[in-house]
């Protein structure tokens, strides 16, 4: 994918995620765990803004096409996943990873889904940011990470 296409795609996804965050805020009173509903609203809005910012600087990355694609998909999984799993936590009323949001008890399978989701999101977004930081520091395509 061309850099300009990636930029437009990221900005589009950021705007969609921002909208999903706003809509989540409207549904907040309907969630089993209202505090997690607020968190889901904020995750959508903040992650949407983050993805728009990624789109704005994506052309500055100096990564191979493989690493570029990996960072792109990690960014999307990390940001959408963060909103999805926070919303699921609000719907299910899970509290294992977020005891400060309320004393709710969800079914064990629901806790496992949310916990596994949050861990996968954490790995994806940290990986994306590491790749982006490396890509921002590289000045040539002859670096080892750029050669792959």
- The string of pLDDT tens digits covering residues 131-141 is 999 999 866 55
Q: Mean per-residue pLDDT for 11-28?
A: 97
This prediction has a pTM of 0.87
Q: Report which DSSP code applies to 142.
A: T
**94 confidence band (pLDDT: 50, 70, 90):** confident
**101 confidence band (pLDDT: 50, 70, 90):** low
pLDDT in tens, 36-51: 999 999 999 999 999 9
pLDDT over threshold 70, residue 74: yes
Phi–psi pair at 18, nearest 5 degrees: -60, -45
CB neighbours of residue 99 within 10 Å: 9
pLDDT over threshold 90, residue 97: no
């Amino acid at each position: 994918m061309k850099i300009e296409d990636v930029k437009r795609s990221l900005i589009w996804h950021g705007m969609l995620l921002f909208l999903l965050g706003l809509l989540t805020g409207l549904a907040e009173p309907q969630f089993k765990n209202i505090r997690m509903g607020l968190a889901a609203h904020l995750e959508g809005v903040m992650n949407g803004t983050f993805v728009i910012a990624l789109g704005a600087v994506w052309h500055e990355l100096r990564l191979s096409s493989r690493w570029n694609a990996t960072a792109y998909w990690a960014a999307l999984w990390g940001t959408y996943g963060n909103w999805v799993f926070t919303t699921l936590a609000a719907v299910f009323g899970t509290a294992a990873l977020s005891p400060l949001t309320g004393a709710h008890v969800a079914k064990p399978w629901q806790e496992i889904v949310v916990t596994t989701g949050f861990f996968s999101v954490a790995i994806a977004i940290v990986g994306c940011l590491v790749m982006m930081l490396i890509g921002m520091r590289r000045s040539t395509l002859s670096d080892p990470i750029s050669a792959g």
